[in-house]
Structure 1
């Protein structure tokens, strides 16, 4: 454990950096919060990301007030968080490094608490805390209390916030810094790069103020989900070794339902539902074989014709007995049947199996890849595709209905109120888990999909609506 004199050592123990693009109106509050820190040994880099507002003027004025500790770096064109972070990492003198976003600000105890924790135990390489939500004018709306690591979050499926997470500088350098081809979700990348290398600690104290406004990057959910997929893909590539786990993707196909006939042959966007499902699985990284499982010989004949014309690639098939035509087999039974068919042909069971619904035509290959990557990287029993529920949800309580996610009424998303629903598009699990009573196992990871990509086609009206939406979204040509 460090001594008090060591804790307050000089030169600076902490390198801080504040990227700023057109947030000049907020920048001074962010920097003043650094000056107000109870822990005094820091250096600061303000990075002007080609701002077109008052950012350069504010940054230079703040630098001139403390030229020995504050440095301003000006970029002629925006470089993004990752490239900016790596450029600061190269210049950092601090034992620890942390980003503060220009529209946020620190509690006065933030650096003291995080440095004290890091200095107390050399094995700790990453520390973060809770934070306050504020409105654009800085009025506090509520507090985000993260799940406590090791107690409430044992498996570590909830990465820390990208900003205001303090990292041991040498640990970040040892993993090669940030991946510059990922333009968002640096908290996720940092977490999965470091979680198995250093000890991480969460502090049960609010350490910064997180301003909510229309331009916040965290509100751009599609961009964040895309960046998250890239992160998992890169991590999977780093894991590749001599042994490649086998994964059987199973597409369960029922030919007709009451009121909805010829389901696999229905076309959306120029392809049948079966083609969409096969296209999402075939060629997806991590998928070693694709199997069609059905009770209908007609479906297999149709798939064979598609293969003969080169419309789809090679696949496996299995014909299930139609023992209970009024009710489809549960997913578990379908996957077990497929695994037995795989073993009969390959001589062994697959390492993992994935279930792909035929009713999710907007699920793409990258979704399948991401789901399998998550299964491997998190070492979870299973991965389910989910859509975050963004509307108020109620459940019965002693006094009638109880709102489960009251933060939604303030347009806030608290970790402890997040609700996810299985969208039916994708499920993957290890073969050894499949025989358990609970198909999901004990540790369940998730792959979040957008509401648009999660659209299900379960009835003719769904099909008509989706076709119309795709037509409206298609680019028009003069």
Structure 2
């Protein structure tokens, strides 16, 4: 292929957003320069940098033969707006973001373009990658679960960077949602999942630098963005029928050494009021039920309604057989759905188990659980937080470390462990009527550590108030 055709008809558009990452940018640029596949164009987007980003970008532009454009934004506009702007400028059949602090393996563009060219039905392709430290030394290899073979859950999207996408497919999906404040692969994945095929490569295609300013370390921001993404997709894909959803709050009055649990207050509101109020604020919940073996608890719930602190709800007294310490959530949910049937003449489509003990759970978490249940075809969804500490299991010769990457500060996909935080279980009423609460396809939503706090003792109350 001659140089003119390479410059005027690039097959791949690469863009690099950079905000004060001049110290890393040259490494990223040089990895493009040494690609085995050469038919690419590049956009370097300076997001209001105050370092030497512009100097490095111009130096690179002056020394390569490919099309290289430098875009200067006086102030940062964010990844989503950058991505949409480049989408409008892209001349390539395929488009890919490379972060300024990462760099490509020399075969990256060759492997990904070859895969996309081999199948017109493929809309995106991604590969494995290496973790490195700030100095660029390799720390480990992230071997993703093979798409369609080891992973059929649709809950493990590719990394937001270094995923190559068919440009016209992304344009047909209206690009990126600019109100999303973080881009970690989720929006791209869920936007395109119903529109096109995806493929993963066994080969590593880039080097993922870990350092103190990495966006991926901002867990709370990413979880917030993912919730917005799921909500938007659910809104776009919803038809004329909206599933009915019953949120069930089991409220045991007392536990050993912890009396009057539903009446305990956090910031001036009882645990019972907080749980029911949050459920009623969730747009996907159509009815709330409080179930208890205690008359006092149910009277308190009705008083909250009559005082205007809660909207009308179902109160259902559980029989003695459902009031012990070892009652399964499935039995409580079944009892509540019958109370719903008595009121409405039909069962709800979806039923939620919401812990009374989770005062920092928010309506967005409940909505996200329903979104995952609907969008990913799950049998049930649970709320979890990722286990950040090393975990051991007993093996044939003693303890075996399940997530050794944690001792290196890394979170390998194949080592990730999730702890059920006890806050939310979402499932289909039909599932709990005819089979186990937890069937084969279990989805999950991640909640932060603060949001996952459970109030189950006097000490927990003291810690929350102090």
TM-score by length of 1: 0.95
State the secondary structure of the residue aligned to 1:435: helix
Stretches of structure 1 lacking an aligned partner (at least 5 in a row): 1-6, 469-478
Tell which deviates more after alignment, 276-285 or 22-31.
276-285
Check if 1:169 corresponds to 2:167.
yes
The correspondence for 1:121, drawn from 119, 133, 145, is 119
Check if 1:388 corresponds to 2:368.
no
| Alpha-carbon separation, structure 2, partners of 1:326 and 1:176 | 53
Shift, 1:158, TM fit: 0.4
State the secondary structure of the residue aligned to 2:354: strand
Report the counterpart of residue 369 of structure 1 in structure 2.
367
| Alpha-carbon separation, structure 1, partners of 2:137 and 2:381 | 38
Report the counterpart of residue 285 of structure 2 in structure 1.
287
Shift, 1:186, TM fit: 4.4
Report the counterpart of residue 77 of structure 2 in structure 1.
79
Report the counterpart of residue 333 of structure 1 in structure 2.
331
| Alpha-carbon separation, structure 1, partners of 2:258 and 2:166 | 58
State the secondary structure of the residue aligned to 1:118: helix
Report the counterpart of residue 63 of structure 2 in structure 1.
65
| Alpha-carbon separation, structure 2, partners of 1:38 and 1:190 | 26
Report the counterpart of residue 345 of structure 2 in structure 1.
347
Shift, 1:155, TM fit: 2.4
Shift, 1:306, TM fit: 0.9
Contact residue 360 and residue 455 of structure 1 kept, 8 A? yes
Tell which deviates more after alignment, 13-22 or 338-347.
338-347
Shift, 1:258, TM fit: 1.2
Report the counterpart of residue 90 of structure 2 in structure 1.
92
| Alpha-carbon separation, structure 1, partners of 2:245 and 2:463 | 34
Report the counterpart of residue 23 of structure 1 in structure 2.
21
The correspondence for 2:301, drawn from 294, 300, 303, is 303
Report the counterpart of residue 475 of structure 1 in structure 2.
none
Contact residue 132 and residue 206 of structure 1 kept, 8 A? yes
Shift, 1:68, TM fit: 5.1
Query: Aligned ranges for residues 184-203 of structure 1 at < 5 Å?
Result: 184-203=182-201
Shift, 1:437, TM fit: 4.0
Report the counterpart of residue 476 of structure 1 in structure 2.
none
Shift, 1:323, TM fit: 2.4
Report the counterpart of residue 206 of structure 1 in structure 2.
204
Over 3 Å counting, the alpha-carbon distance change for 1:151 and 1:10 in structure 2 is farther
Shift, 1:435, TM fit: 2.7
Residues 63-88 of structure 1, C-alpha deviation per residue, up to 9 Å, x if partnerless? 12237511000001101110000000
Residues 406-435 of structure 1, C-alpha deviation per residue, up to 9 Å, x if partnerless? 000000000000000100000101112113
Report the counterpart of residue 275 of structure 2 in structure 1.
277
Stretches of structure 2 lacking an aligned partner (at least 5 in a row): none
Report the counterpart of residue 314 of structure 2 in structure 1.
316
Report the counterpart of residue 160 of structure 1 in structure 2.
158
Residues 261-314 of structure 1, C-alpha deviation per residue, up to 9 Å, x if partnerless? 110000011110001101210021211111111111111110111111111111
| Alpha-carbon separation, structure 1, partners of 2:295 and 2:427 | 28
Over 3 Å counting, the alpha-carbon distance change for 1:401 and 1:154 in structure 2 is same
| Alpha-carbon separation, structure 2, partners of 1:463 and 1:348 | 39
Report the counterpart of residue 219 of structure 1 in structure 2.
217
Shift, 1:317, TM fit: 1.7
Which 4+ stretches in 1 moved above 3 angstroms? 7-10
Contact residue 100 and residue 164 of structure 1 kept, 8 A? yes
Report the counterpart of residue 356 of structure 1 in structure 2.
354
Residues 336-391 of structure 1, C-alpha deviation per residue, up to 9 Å, x if partnerless? 11111111211111111011000111101111111111111111111100010000
| Alpha-carbon separation, structure 1, partners of 2:372 and 2:107 | 36
| Alpha-carbon separation, structure 2, partners of 1:146 and 1:436 | 35
Shift, 1:324, TM fit: 5.7
User: What is the count of residue pairs matched by the alignment?
Assistant: 462
Contact residue 80 and residue 183 of structure 2 kept, 8 A? no
The correspondence for 2:407, drawn from 406, 409, 414, is 409
Contact residue 178 and residue 186 of structure 1 kept, 8 A? no
Report the counterpart of residue 422 of structure 1 in structure 2.
420
Shift, 1:231, TM fit: 0.7
State the secondary structure of the residue aligned to 1:222: helix
Report the counterpart of residue 148 of structure 2 in structure 1.
150
State the secondary structure of the residue aligned to 1:58: helix
Contact residue 255 and residue 296 of structure 1 kept, 8 A? yes
Shift, 1:117, TM fit: 0.5
| Alpha-carbon separation, structure 1, partners of 2:160 and 2:221 | 15
Structure 1 vs Structure 2 CA RMSD: 1.4
Report the counterpart of residue 102 of structure 1 in structure 2.
100
Shift, 1:159, TM fit: 0.5
Shift, 1:326, TM fit: 4.1
State the secondary structure of the residue aligned to 1:412: coil
